[in-house]
Chains A and B, each alone.
Chain A
Amino acid sequence: QSALTQPASVSGSPGQSITISCTGTSSDVGGYKYVSWYQQHQGKAPKLMIYDVSTRPSGVSNRFSGSKSGNTASLTISGLQAEDEADYYCNSYTSRGTLVFGRGTKLTVL
């Protein structure tokens, strides 16, 4: 199972919006509503930010939103804050009944 494709890095200034893409195939991202996103600060465990493509868990800021079109899912962070600087990973259920992560995107807040 190949990792999902994410940009290696994105950046934005405080207050701006950024979008991170996550591209897979019809056997994973495109075939199911089970795309999730995780935030990981250096040396910490990942934190769930979005599940089922666009659902925010309780406690996650509404500045984080998710969407999907075809085989590509996206995470948008609006009103960027310094604390958003972290690595972000997408994940999808697959037709093999397994799960697969994206390669990860490093977000830099300028």
Chain B
Amino acid sequence: DVQLLESGGGLVQPGGSLRLSCAASGFTFSHYAMNWVRQAPGKGLEWVSLVLGGGSRTEYADSVKGRFTISRENSKNTLYLQMNSLGAEDTAVYFCAKDGSGSDVSPYYFDHWGQGIPVTVSS
């Protein structure tokens, strides 16, 4: 079975940094694009970032571009999200989500999700 397990969340001060990790199992990790999706308290889902299976392409939502960096370590079956210059607007539950298409061009939908990890930005 596919499993995605996020870690690294918590409370951070405004302007601070945090690195999220997502440990994957149950599939050939390097064959699939991966994504981060977040959900602010009481709000809807927001796509944050993607990285292709080999890491050759990354994309970001305008709201995080220049502050967040997505990466992956295929030898460890792990996805990362480095978050810098955090603000209150980044407070959310962060989900890692696996691409279901298997495309080497782009993820097109999310077939498996982690349980989510909360990030709170507050002084």
Interface residues, chain A, CB within 8 Å of chain B? 1, 3, 34, 36, 38, 40, 45-48, 51-52, 57, 87, 89, 91, 93, 96-104
Contacts and interface: CB of A to CB of B under 8 A. Distances in A.
27 contacts: A3-B46, A38-B45, A40-B45, A45-B95, A45-B113, A46-B37, A46-B45, A46-B95, A47-B113, A48-B110, A48-B111, A51-B108, A51-B109, A57-B100, A57-B111, A87-B44, A89-B44, A91-B45, A97-B106, A98-B47, A98-B60, A99-B35, A99-B50, A100-B47, A101-B37, A101-B45, A101-B47
Contact of B114 (A34, A45, A89, A100): A45
B108 A52 contact: yes
Please tell me the size bucket of the interface on B: 20 to 34
A34 B44 contact: no
A3 B37 CA distance: 14
B110 A38 contact: yes
Given A45-B114, A46-B37, A91-B109, 13 more contacts: A3-B46, A34-B108, A34-B109, A36-B108, A36-B109, A45-B113, A46-B113, A48-B111, A51-B100, A93-B106, A98-B59, A100-B47, A104-B44
A48 B109 CA distance: 8
Given A45-B95, A89-B44, A91-B47, A99 B113 contact: no
Name the 3 nearest CB pairs between A and B, nearest first. Answer: A36-B109, A104-B44, A45-B113
Interface of B: 35, 37, 44-47, 50, 57, 59-62, 95, 100-101, 106-111, 113-116
Contacts of A36: 108-110
B59 A103 contact: no
